[in-house]
Amino acid sequence: MSPLLADLVKIVLILSLVYLAYIDLRTFRLPNVITLPLIIAGCAYNGLSPLHFVRVTDSLLGALLGYTFLWLLNYLYRLIKKQDGIGMGDAKLLAALGAWLGWIALPGILLIASILGLIGGLIWLQWNKQDHRAAFPFGPFLAFAGIIELLWPQLLQTLLLSSPT
């Protein structure tokens, strides 16, 4: 399998993430018909391809931890606030990113998505003339953070931990 094919896989993954971001912006939904195959494809690619992004165990653990973390966060929020705080489509999208990029990428993806989501959410709410309690789609920020991690792995760690010379 050539590196050109690996680049093609990256392009298809990026286009899928951009499409999911667009759908979420328009509908506040991340359809299972896209997110679930993306999880399976990420695990399969990392398990079967010699040009895998991460080891298959890291991929499977990434899918499991990605979903479980957001599910647990939403569960705790629901206990406190008596309403959902994040959609399970977002959890499936994070599981897909974990399947493709491995569990080690999840903290960076979540940090980037959270920072972008905070800024973007405030802009979204202002643009739509809503108060801070209104919902806004988080999927586009997860997708964008996943693209950053795919194209520039460990960028966040490099920026935060590099010493000036």
pLDDT, position 75 = 96
Dihedrals phi, psi of 53, to nearest 5 degrees: -80, -40
Tokens for 149, please give them.
Answer: 């991690």
Residue linked to tokens 């973007």: 120
152 DSSP assignment: S
pTM of the model: 0.90
**Digitized pLDDT (tens) for each residue of the chain, 165 residues in all:** 577 888 999 999 999 999 999 999 999 999 999 999 999 999 999 999 999 999 999 999 999 999 999 999 999 999 999 888 888 999 999 999 999 999 999 999 999 999 999 998 888 778 877 776 667 889 999 999 999 999 988 766 666 666 665
- What is the Cα 84 distance to its own chain's centre? 19
pLDDT, position 157 = 64
pLDDT, position 113 = 96
pLDDT, position 124 = 76
pLDDT, position 165 = 58
H helix or E strand, kind and range, residue 12: helix 3-27
pLDDT, position 126 = 81
